[in-house]
Amino acid sequence: MTALIDIRGQKFGRLTVIKRSGTATNGNALWLCQCSCGNTTSVDSYALRHGRAKSCGCLTREKRARLIRRNPKAVASMGRLSNLKIRDHHTDLPSKIMSKRNKSGVIGVSWDTNSQRWVATFFYKGTYLLHKPFLHFEDAVIARQTMERRYLNKEVN
Segment 104-152, tens digit of pLDDT: 999 889 999 999 999 999 888 778 899 999 999 999 999 999 998 888 7
10 in Cβ contact with 18 (< 8 Å): no
User: 43-74 burial by CB neighbour count: b if 16+ within 10 A, else e?
Assistant: bbbebbeeeebbbbebbeeeeeeeeeeeeeee
CATH fit for domain 87-152, picks 2.30.29, 1.20.5, 1.10.3470, 1.10.760: 1.20.5
Name the residue ranges covered by the structural domains of the chain: 1-84, 87-152
82 in Cβ contact with 97 (< 8 Å): no
What pLDDT is attached to residue 86? 55
Segment 49-93, tens digit of pLDDT: 999 999 999 999 999 999 988 998 888 877 776 665 555 555 555
Give the global pTM. 0.49
Length of the chain: 157
What pLDDT is attached to residue 99? 77
What pLDDT is attached to residue 78? 76
What pLDDT is attached to residue 87? 53
